[in-house]
Amino acid sequence: MMTRNHIEVNETLDCTGLACPMPIVRTKKAMQNMSSGEVLEVQATDKGSLADLQAWAKSAGHQYLGTVTEGELLKHFVRKASPHDVKQEATYPHTATNEELDASLKSGTGNMLLLDVREAAEYAFGHITGAVSIPLGQLEQRLEELPNDRQLFVICRTGSRSDMACTLLADKGYANVRNVLPGMSGWTGPVEKLN
The catalytic residue among 15, 20, 156, 166 is 20
How far, in Å, are 72, 97, 175, 183 from residue 188 at the CA level?
32, 12, 28, 10
**Residue 59 φ then ψ, to 5°:** -70, -30
d(CA 117, CA 160): 10
Rounded to 10°, the helix 49-60/22-32 angle is 40
Kindly give, in sequence order, each residue whose CB lies less than 8 Å from that of residue 171, ignoring residues fewer than 6 positions away. Answer: none
Residue 103 CA, chain-centre distance (Å), reads 23
Catalytic site residue 20? yes
Catalytic residues: 20
